[in-house]
Amino acid sequence: MKVFRTAFLLTALTLVLLAIGDAVGGRNGMTIALVFAAVGNFIAYFFSDKIALMSSGAQPVSREELPRLYEVMERLAAKANLPVPRLYVIPEAAPNAFATGRNPSHASVAVTQGLMQLMNDEELEGVIAHELSHVRNYDILISSIAATIAGAITHLAFMGRFAAIFGYGSSRDNDREGGGLTALLMLFLAPFAAMFLQMGLSQQREYAADETGARMIGQPYGLISALQKLGAYNQRIPSNIPQTTSALCIVKPLFGGGSIFSSLFSTHPPLEDRIAALRELTVTRPG
């Protein structure tokens, strides 16, 4: 069911993109839309991890520098039958973590200094299991593709609105009765549709990573305690992680001056809902 939901949301995003292309320029517009998506996905596939790590200020860390992190990562990666990701530390006090990379063989996990200082061993294990679950489920690749398609939708919609203002556009649409109005309405509403579809995709992947991580360890309590700490501290300590990378984080960072809109349009489900789902989860320890 989770795979079906992911496929459905990605397909819906692609259909919105094609509809925007059609509204902007008919068949040629659809072709341009597909080119936008293809080029963007190529960049996302090969470079999204480097962009996320560089923009967040993450620095590679050795086993000698952080043996505790390596011990937890190596043990859980072996349990999940995954290669050990490259490990990075972000020099900031706000506790957080994210995984990135196009597949398990090219994965990286970054944690903040604040996370390493605040988490006990059981909580750190829960956080790392969550991030490894994203790696195993190919969530980073899926999220990168979704973000690329959503970005292409927004860009094409802007182009279409610009063309409409100056009287350009698909003559086929203008010849149809009401076609021009329908196309213009689509150009304004499509970016919101893309945003909500991307939010749905991101939020359901967070629930899935929570569940997979808890099952990987054999109990949900470390992750529950970690999420409670992360929620409390990220309400008080602003983060330097850029908003373009924040969707990858285990919890939404605090950027300062948060508004009701940032809560409504969040890529993360409410922490209380994630914790409630973990409390209801039945987990048996692996034998």
Q: 3-state SS string over the chain?
A: CHHHHHHHHHHHHHHHHHHHHHHHHHHHHHHHHHHHHHHHHHHHHHHHHHHHHHHHCCEECCCCCCHHHHHHHHHHHHHCCCCCCEEEEECCCCCCEEEEECCHHHEEEEEEHHHHHHCCHHHHHHHHHHHHHHHHCCHHHHHHHHHHHHHHHHHHHHHHHHHHHCCCCCHHHHHCCCHHHHHHHHHHHHHHHHHHHHHHHHHHHHHHHHHHHHHHHCCCHHHHHHHHHHHHHCCCCECCCCHHHHCCECCCCECCCCCHHHHHCCCCCCHHHHHHHHHCCCCCCCC
Say whether 122 is catalytic. no
- Is residue 287 one of the residues assigned to a domain? no
Q: What is the mean pLDDT of residues 151-165?
A: 64
Q: Rounded to the nearest 5°, which phi and psi values hold at 254?
A: -95, 125
- Is residue 209 one of the residues assigned to a domain? yes
CA distance 34 to 22: 11
- Is residue 285 one of the residues assigned to a domain? no
Neighbours of 34 (CB within 10 A): 15
How far is CA 182 from its chain centroid? 31
- Is residue 284 one of the residues assigned to a domain? no
Contacts (Cβ under 8 Å, ≥6 apart) of 76: 125, 128, 129, 132, 216, 217
How confident is residue 187, by pLDDT bands cut at 50, 70 and 90?
low
> To the nearest whole number, what is the mean pLDDT of the chain?
80
Q: The domain containing residue 217 runs over which residues?
A: 2-279
Which entry of 92, 125, 131, 206 is annotated as an active-site residue?
Answer: 131
- Is residue 227 one of the residues assigned to a domain? yes
Q: What is the mean pLDDT of residues 93-106?
A: 92
Per-residue confidence (pLDDT) for residue 51, from 0 to 100 = 84
For tokens 């043990």, the residue is 75
| Nearest residue to 84 (alpha-carbon basis) of 59, 115, 106, 65 | 106
Q: What is the mean pLDDT of residues 139-158?
A: 69
What are 230-275's pLDDT values in tens digits? Answer: 999 988 999 888 876 787 899 988 865 444 445 555 778 899 999 9
How confident is residue 179, by pLDDT bands cut at 50, 70 and 90?
very low
| Nearest residue to 61 (alpha-carbon basis) of 73, 43, 77 | 73
- Is residue 106 one of the residues assigned to a domain? yes
203 pLDDT higher than 90: no
CA distance 2 to 141: 16
How confident is residue 47, by pLDDT bands cut at 50, 70 and 90?
confident
CA distance 55 to 49: 10
pTM of the predicted model, to two decimals?
A: 0.77
What are 54-70's pLDDT values in tens digits? Answer: 989 999 999 999 999 99
- Is residue 233 one of the residues assigned to a domain? yes
Least confident of 17-21, 89-93, 269-273: 17-21
- Is residue 286 one of the residues assigned to a domain? no
Please, what's the b/e burial string for 175-206 (b: 16 or more CB within 10 A of its CB; e: otherwise)? eeeebbeebbebbeebbebbeebbbbbbbbbb
* Count of the separate structural domains present in the chain: 1
Residue 6 CB-half CA count within 13 A: 19
